[in-house]
Structure formats: structure tokens, C-alpha cells
């Protein structure tokens, strides 16, 4: 064995004994005999020590330990390294022949620390020390090394060499890292924010560990829970069932259980939870503790209860209007129908859907083929529409059913369509429609009858009009003529009173003639056809104003016309009649004003054309607004303002016939404004 191997081996274990002192003789012993005996004894001791060293060397070579010796020089050149360096892919010659410097193989992140610690040991000791660092393997991976180094110094205390034992602790490091990672994962899992977790004792049910989420679910601080047991805050109605499951786990009958239970919060309210309990056991099978997960299902149960309430309300609403609902998934073939749909086809509600045969057997024989074909199209994902069919009258009173459908296209998801819809009992509607049809037929008969009666009445009205225009006008002309002759031939023989009587006769005849003319115009307006054509408004207004020129001049009325260049689709004669009456009335009722004025204006508002005639005359009280458009309606005596009371009735009738509307705004003593409005 060379000196380096012996030195490295001795760093593993103290071997041998103190060497013999050959420079002195033991006391009481002298002579050649005694010296020969001592020499033999020393040789035996040396041989035993060498054998022990050989065994230790073999043990080192068989182990994963790497014996190494460095020279104290830059880069830590290796003077000797054991054959076990091959575990990292190197041969001893790679180091001793200078192909690698040991320092270059140390991980860059570890090298500064390793060199600094070595420098400290060189300077201050101790000469035996231990380091852990990563060493690059020949394949480029890193091996964790446990380096136990011993420094050799000369008489001056200078370090002249280093020897050590290198142990590969990569598996240990990886195991430690895996343990740390697993511990962290367990901590993260334990602290999940959406699920409560706890570890409890099987001996007394006490909480041993609880996470933050469980504290939040139960409403207690962690300290309070760790000083109590889960049975202390379990709802009394759930405790017996929970304890029975717990005892089954303690006895070994089960290794896990789940249940829905309630815990009591500090304020006395109950929180509904789903708990899952698992047994955690020792290696010998004894129960160590219980691991529990707790989920707060209060909101879910509330939502389920609310959903049940909504479902009950929906079923009540469906029953009230006899409206059943359904859905059919063409992709899965799954169909759902409501309880009311069962009733609509004459079946009792059930969890199991009726077969096609049972369903079709409830329908009218004449409608079964139609419904069967529709069902096939629905399941195939083909377009379907609304459907009306009947129940079988042999099974009870025949009912009419109306099926609606809405198709949800799912091509984007690569799925066939989903159909949803309703099936409503429309018997009452069908019967109502039948009655309505009969009423419509009766109404049409009545309308025809009334139309014929109206035609006859119109003929009689025309005959009456002819009579008025001829038979009544003829006597009036006679009265007018003779009264005029009376005044001309015998006027001088009549006193003042007699002349006044004749004047009143002639005035009455004139007024009667005007009334007959207005009545004829009104009757004619009812019968004549209106021809709506585009008319320029300004020429119509100018023509009417020109017709009143003498009256305008006589009363010194200031007339202002501002209608722009508007056109509107109206009957020309009808519009002339309207303007004639409105402008004539405005002149008549403002003539007595200090500065009489009349304004005719027009403008466009949204999709309408509005025309107005405004005066500063006597005006009227708005409470009589609707009355003034009635026939023979007057607000002033004829002595004050002459007229027949038919003019505004003619205006209202003409505007109505032309599809417009008329209204007025006024105040007594402040004039009046009459508005006309037509579609643009």
C-alpha cells in the first residue's frame, strides 16, 4: 500500500496502535534474548496492523466513498483519487494526469462558498471540516457531494496537502427536496381557500389542526376550535348519526365515511356542510387520526330550495294556463317534458317518459301520422315548425293542442340542434275562433245589409237635397221677389214700422237662403269623392284672400301670409272651402278690433305640415272648443256676427275627409288661432 492510500484510509478510522520505541529497552529487560523477543513481538504487531489496513482499504474501495488527495495549489490539483470516482464518469487519471482541475468541476453557484470556507480553515482551522456542494459529472449532470477534508501542515503550520473522503449524497438531497416539496404541497392543499380541512383525534374527537377555510365556514377562531371537539358544535339532530359513523371507523369497520350535517355557529345559526372523513393509520394499522374535509353547502341548498320553489311556481303557472313545456336534444336523443304536458295529452305525470306508441295512442287517429313524422324530424335534427293536433275523442272530450318550437343551432360546437318549446291546450281558443268566425260572417252580413240601407238613405238624401234646392228655394225666391216689389211699389205708403217689417222679411229670406246653401254644401261634402293631389299652398291662400278683398278694405284688416313654398296632398276644392271659412271668420271676428289683423302661416313639423289662421278678434272660452265644430253651433248672436253656424262644421268635415285634424286655441278678448295638420 502506498503512502497516500494509507493516509486516506487513516482519515476514515483510527487504525493500528502506537509504534514501538526502538531507541530504548524496557525496564527490567536486557540481554540478546530479551531483545530478540521484543523484535518478534513488534513484527507481529506490525503485521496485524497492516492486515487491518488492507481490510479497511478493501472496504473503502467496495463502498461509494471516494478517497482523494489534493495539492495546495490554484485549482486544487489532484494528487490521488480512488477508483470509485468512476461513479461520476471519470477515471483517476483524468485528475492525476491534469486533464481536469477539481475546482473547475464545482458548481459555479457553490464555488465561491467552498473556496471561502477552505480559506477560513487554512487560516484558523480546525484542520478537519465538512462541506456540501455540487460537482459536475462527466455526462453534464450535477452530483451532490459530502466532502470531509483533512488539512496537513508542516512544522511551520503551513498547509502542504489536503486529503478527504467524498460521498455522493445526490439521492439524499433529492429525497430532502421531494420531502420539502411534498410538505409545501400539503401545506398549500391544506390552506385551499375553497374547502375546510381538519385533523381530529379518534380518542376524544378533539380538533388537532384546522385550516383557515374551516374557521371561516364555522365562524370560530382557530384557538376556539383547537380547544373543543367537533361533537361540541354539531347540530343535536345530526350528532347521533355522526357519532355512529365515527364509532364504526374507530372500531375498524370502515376506513372512511361521508355525510351531510349541520354545525352550529357562535350566533346559533346552522351551517349546512358535506363532510368527508378518512382514517390515517400507523404502520401497524392502528388508527392515528382522522382527516376531514368540510364543504359549506348552505348556499347550494338554498339555491336548490329556491329552484324547487320556482319549479313549483312554474308548474302551477303551466297548470293555470294549461301550457306544457318540452325539450328535445337531437344529438343525445334525450327528451324532457313537464308534468302539465302529460296532463294535456290525457296522461298522469310520471318520471318515465311515455313511449311513442303510448303518446300517439292519445292523439286523434287522423293526426297520428302528422305527429309521428314531426317527432322523427325532431330527433334527426331537421327543421320543425309549429303544429296543431287533437286528442282522441274516444278517450274523452276532444282537446285541441298547439305545439310551439324554438331551435337552438349548435353547428359551431359540432352538435345537432336543440329544440325547446311548449304544448298548450288551445281548445278554448279554437272554439273562440270558431265563434268569432261565425260572428264575423254575421257581421259581414249585417254590414252588407247596412250598406244597402245606407245606399238607399243616400238616395233619399239626394232626393231631399234636390227638394231643398228646388222646392224650398222656389218659395223663398217668391217671398224675396214680392217683398222687393212691395218696397218698390208701395214703400212710400208704408210707415217706418211697416218698412222695418218688410226689411226683416227680406233679411230672414237672405239668411234662410244662406242656410240652405250651407246645408247643401255640407250634404254635398259628405257624398263627393275626395281627390288628394299635391297642391301648392300659397296660390290657394292668395285666391281665398283675394275673394275677401272688399271686406278686408272695408274693415282695414291687416292680412299677413307666410306659408313659404310648401306643397301638400289634399283635395283642392275641399282645402279651398276650409280656408274660405277660416279666413272669412277671422276677418269677421276681428273687424271690430282697434287694429284688426289676420295671419295665415304654415310650417313643417316632423312628418307633418301645420297651417294656422290667427286673428286678434273677440276670441272664445276654451270650454266651448268642441262645441264650435258642431253643426248649427254659435257662440255669438247673429245680430253681432252674422252667420249660419255651419261654417266650422264644414271645416271639420272637410279636414276629416282629407285625413287631417283641426283644433283651436283662444282666450276671450285675445283672438283665436285655428290649426290644421296634414301628413307631409
Note the pLDDT tens digit of each residue in 100-154: 889 999 999 999 999 999 999 999 989 999 999 999 999 999 999 999 999 999 9
All cell numbers assigned to 461: 238624401
Is residue 103 helix, strand or coil?
A: helix
* Cα–Cα distance for residue pair 161/76, rounded to 1 Å: 10
Mean pLDDT of the chain: 83
Q: Which of 353, 355, 351, 390 shows the shortest CA–CA distance to 370? A: 390
Mean pLDDT calculated for residue range 524-547? 82
More confident residue, 51 or 244: 244
3-20+31-168: CATH, from 3.30.450.20, 3.30.565.10, 3.40.50.620, 3.40.50.720: 3.30.450.20
Contacts of 100 (CB under 8 A, 6+ apart): 90, 94
Tens digit of pLDDT for each residue in 485-528?
887 888 788 888 888 887 778 766 766 666 676 666 666 666 66
CATH number of 315-417: 3.30.450
- Taking only the tens place, the pLDDT of each residue in 545-559 is 998 899 899 899 999
CB 293 within 8 A of CB 276: yes
Terminal Cα distance for the chain, rounded = 125
Q: Which residues of 161-178 are buried (b: 16+ CB within 10 A; e: fewer)?
A: bbbbbbbbbbeebeeeee
User: Measured between alpha carbons, how far is residue 639 from residues 109, 557, 635, 646 in Å?
Assistant: 124, 21, 12, 16
> Residue 197, by phi and psi: left (phi above 0), alpha (psi -120 to 50) or beta?
beta
Which helix H or strand E contains 97, and what residues bound it?
A: none
From the centroid of its chain, how far is CA 560? 62
Can you give the pLDDT at residue 12?
47
| pLDDT tens-place string over residues 292-329 | 999 999 888 888 888 888 777 877 877 777 888 888 89
Global pTM value = 0.37
Confidence band, pLDDT 50/70/90 cuts, at residue 574 = confident
C-beta of residue 173 within 8 angstroms of C-beta of residue 154: no
Distance CA 134, CA 111 (A): 9
Can you give the pLDDT at residue 116?
Answer: 93
**For position 14, what pLDDT does the model report?**
37
| Mean pLDDT score, 526-555 | 85
pLDDT (0 to 100) of residue 21:
38
635 pLDDT exceeds 50?
yes
In degrees, rounded to 5, the angle at the alpha carbon of residue 77 between the alpha carbons of residues 73 and 80 is: 125
Alpha-carbon distance of 269 to 264, in angstroms, equals: 6
Question: What 8-state DSSP symbol labels residue 86?
Answer: G
Supply the pLDDT for residue 15. 32
Three-class SS state of 654? helix
Instruction: Work out whether the CA dihedral 72, 76, 79, 83 comes out positive or negative.
Output: positive
The mean per-residue pLDDT over the stretch 403-408 comes to 90
Q: Which residue is listed with cell 301628413?
A: 679
Task: Tell me: cis bond preceding 126? Omega within 30 of 0 counts.
Answer: yes
Which is more confident, 188 or 152? 152
DSSP 205: -
- Residues 6+ positions from 120 with CB-CB distance below 8 Å: none
pLDDT digits (tens, 9 = 90+) for 214-258: 999 999 999 999 999 999 999 999 999 999 999 999 999 999 999
Q: Would you state the pLDDT for residue 265? A: 95
**Lowest mean pLDDT segment, chosen from 82-86, 238-242, 331-335, 455-459:** 455-459
**DSSP symbols for 598-644:** EEEEEEEETTEEEEEEEE-S----GGGTTGGGSTT--SS-TTTS---
The neighbour count for residue 498, using CB atoms within 10 Å, is 14
pLDDT in tens, 53-90: 555 555 555 567 899 999 888 888 999 999 899 999 99
Contact between residue 324 and residue 343 where contact means Cβ atoms under 8 Å apart: yes
CA distance 315 to 403: 18
Residues of the chain above pLDDT 70, percent: 81
3-class state of residue 294 by DSSP: strand
Contact 586, 551 (CB under 8 A): no
What count of Cα atoms within 13 Å lies in the side-chain half-sphere of residue 559? 26
pLDDT in tens, 21-50: 333 444 444 545 555 556 666 666 666 656
Residue 461: the pLDDT is 64
CATH of 191-296, one of 3.30.160.20, 2.40.50.60, 3.30.450.20, 3.40.50.300: 3.30.450.20
pLDDT at residue 8, rounded to an integer: 46
3-state secondary structure of 314: helix
Confidence of residue 643 (pLDDT cuts 50, 70, 90): low
Return the pLDDT at 13.
Answer: 44
Report the distance separating Cα 246 and Cα 249, nearest Å: 5
* DSSP letter (8 states) at residue 155: T
pLDDT-wise least confident of 336-345, 432-441, 586-595, 621-630: 621-630
Q: Name which of 217-221, 228-232, 282-286, 462-466 the model is least confident about.
A: 462-466
Q: Is the pLDDT of residue 210 over 50?
A: yes
Q: Which CATH number does 530-679 carry?
A: 3.30.565.10
Chain centre distance of CA 130: 65
Is 10 a residue whose pLDDT tops 60?
A: no
Give pLDDT, residue 656: 87
Asked if residue 635 lies in contact with residue 654, where contact means CB atoms within 8 angstroms, the answer is no
- Asked whether this chain's domains 3-20+31-168 and 315-417 adopt the same fold, the reply is yes
- What per-residue confidence (pLDDT) applies to 22? 36
Residue ranges of domains in the chain:
3-20+31-168, 191-296, 315-417, 432-507, 530-679
Cell 478517497, located at residue: 67
Task: Name residues whose C-beta falls within 8 Å of residue 659's C-beta, 6 or more positions apart in sequence.
Answer: 532, 678, 679
Amino acid at each position: 500500500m502506498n503512502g497516500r492510500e494509507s493516509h486516506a484510509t487513516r482519515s476514515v478510522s483510527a487504525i493500528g496502535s502506537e509504534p514501538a520505541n526502538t531507541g530504548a529497552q524496557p525496564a527490567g529487560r536486557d540481554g540478546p534474548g530479551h531483545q530478540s523477543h521484543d523484535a518478534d513481538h513488534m513484527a507481529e504487531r506490525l503485521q496485524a496492523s497492516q492486515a487491518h489496513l488492507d481490510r479497511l482499504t478493501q472496504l473503502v474501495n467496495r463502498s461509494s466513498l471516494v478517497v482523494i488527495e489534493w495539492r495546495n495549489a490554484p485549482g486544487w490539483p489532484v494528487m490521488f483519487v480512488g477508483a470509485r470516482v468512476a461513479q461520476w464518469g471519470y477515471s483517476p487519471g483524468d485528475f492525476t494526469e491534469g486533464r481536469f482541475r477539481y475546482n473547475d468541476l464545482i458548481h459555479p453557484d457553490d464555488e465561491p462558498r467552498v473556496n471561502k470556507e477552505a480559506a477560513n480553515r487554512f487560516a484558523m482551522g480546525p484542520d478537519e471540516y465538512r462541506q456540501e456542494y455540487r460537482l459536475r459529472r462527466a455526462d453534464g449532470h450535477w452530483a451532490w457531494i459530502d466532502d470531509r477534508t483533512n488539512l496537513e501542515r508542516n512544522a511551520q503550520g503551513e498547509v502542504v496537502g489536503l486529503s478527504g473522503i467524498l460521498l455522493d449524497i445526490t439521492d439524499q438531497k433529492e429525497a430532502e427536496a421531494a420531502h420539502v416539496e411534498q410538505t409545501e404541497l400539503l401545506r398549500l392543499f391544506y390552506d385551499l381557500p375553497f374547502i375546510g380541512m381538519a385533523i381530529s383525534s379518534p380518542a376524544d374527537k378533539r380538533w388537532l389542526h384546522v385550516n383557515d377555510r374551516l374557521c371561516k365556514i364555522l365562524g370560530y377562531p382557530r384557538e376556539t376550535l383547537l380547544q373543543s371537539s367537533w361533537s361540541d358544535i354539531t347540530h343535536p339532530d345530526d350528532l347521533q348519526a355522526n357519532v355512529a359513523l365515527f364509532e364504526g371507523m374507530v372500531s375498524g369497520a370502515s376506513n372512511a365515511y361521508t355525510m351531510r350535517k349541520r354545525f352550529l355557529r357562535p350566533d346559533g345559526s346552522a351551517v349546512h356542510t358535506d363532510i368527508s372523513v378518512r382514517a390515517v393509520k400507523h404502520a401497524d394499522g392502528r388508527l392515528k387520526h382522522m382527516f376531514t374535509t368540510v364543504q359549506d353547502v348552505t348556499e347550494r341548498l338554498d339555491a336548490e330550495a329556491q329552484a324547487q320553489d320556482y319549479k313549483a311556481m312554474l308548474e302551477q303557472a303551466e297548470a293555470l294556463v294549461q301550457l306544457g313545456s318540452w325539450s328535445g336534444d337531437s344529438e343525445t336523443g334525450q327528451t324532457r317534458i313537464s308534468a302539465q304536458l302529460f296532463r294535456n295529452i290525457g296522461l298522469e305525470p310520471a318520471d318515465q317518459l311515455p313511449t311513442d306508441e303510448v303518446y300517439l295512442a292519445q292523439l286523434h287517429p287522423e293526426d297520428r301520422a302528422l305527429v309521428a313524422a314531426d317527432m322523427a324530424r325532431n330527433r334527426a335534427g331537421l327543421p320543425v315548425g309549429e303544429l296543431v293536433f287533437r286528442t282522441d275523442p274516444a278517450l274523452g272530450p276532444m282537446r285541441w293542442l298547439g305545439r310551439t318550437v324554438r331551435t337552438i343551432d349548435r353547428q359551431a360546437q359540432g352538435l345537432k340542434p336543440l329544440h325547446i318549446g311548449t304544448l298548450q291546450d288551445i281548445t278554448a281558443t279554437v272554439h273562440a275562433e270558431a265563434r268569432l268566425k261565425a260572428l264575423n260572417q254575421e257581421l259581414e252580413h249585417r254590414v252588407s245589409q247596412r250598406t244597402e240601407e245606407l245606399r238607399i238613405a243616400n238616395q233619399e238624401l239626394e232626393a231631399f237635397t234636390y227638394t231643398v234646392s228646388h222646392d224650398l228655394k222656389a218659395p223663398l225666391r217668391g217671398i224675396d221677389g214680392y217683398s222687393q216689389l212691395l218696397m218698390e211699389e208701395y214703400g212710400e205708403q208704408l210707415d217706418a214700422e211697416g218698412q222695418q217689417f218688410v226689411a226683416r222679411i227680406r233679411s230672414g229670406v237672405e239668411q234662410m237662403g244662406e242656410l240652405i246653401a250651407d246645408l247643401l254644401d255640407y250634404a254635398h261634402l259628405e257624398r263627393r269623392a275626395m281627390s288628394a293631389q299635391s297642391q301648392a299652398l300659397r296660390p290657394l291662400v292668395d285666391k281665398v284672400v283675394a275673394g275677401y278683398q272688399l271686406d278686408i278694405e272695408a274693415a282695414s284688416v291687416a292680412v299677413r301670409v307666410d306659408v313659404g313654398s310648401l306643397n301638400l296632398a289634399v283635395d283642392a276644392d275641399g282645402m279651398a272651402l276650409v280656408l274660405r271659412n277660416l279666413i272669412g271668420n277671422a276677418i269677421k271676428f276681428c273687424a271690430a278690433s282697434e287694429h284688426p289683423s289676420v295671419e295665415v302661416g304654415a310650417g313643417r313639423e316632423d312628418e307633418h305640415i301645420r297651417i294656422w289662421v290667427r286673428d286678434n278678434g273677440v276670441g272664445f272660452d276654451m270650454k266651448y272648443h268642441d262645441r264650435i265644430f258642431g253643426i248649427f253651433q254659435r257662440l255669438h248672436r247673429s245680430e253681432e256676427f252674422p252667420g249660419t253656424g255651419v261654417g266650422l262644421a264644414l271645416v271639420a268635415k272637410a279636414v276629416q275627409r282629407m285625413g287631417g285634424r283641426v283644433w283651436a286655441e283662444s282666450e276671450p278678448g285675445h283672438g283665436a288661432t285655428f290649426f290644421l295638420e296634414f301628413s307631409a
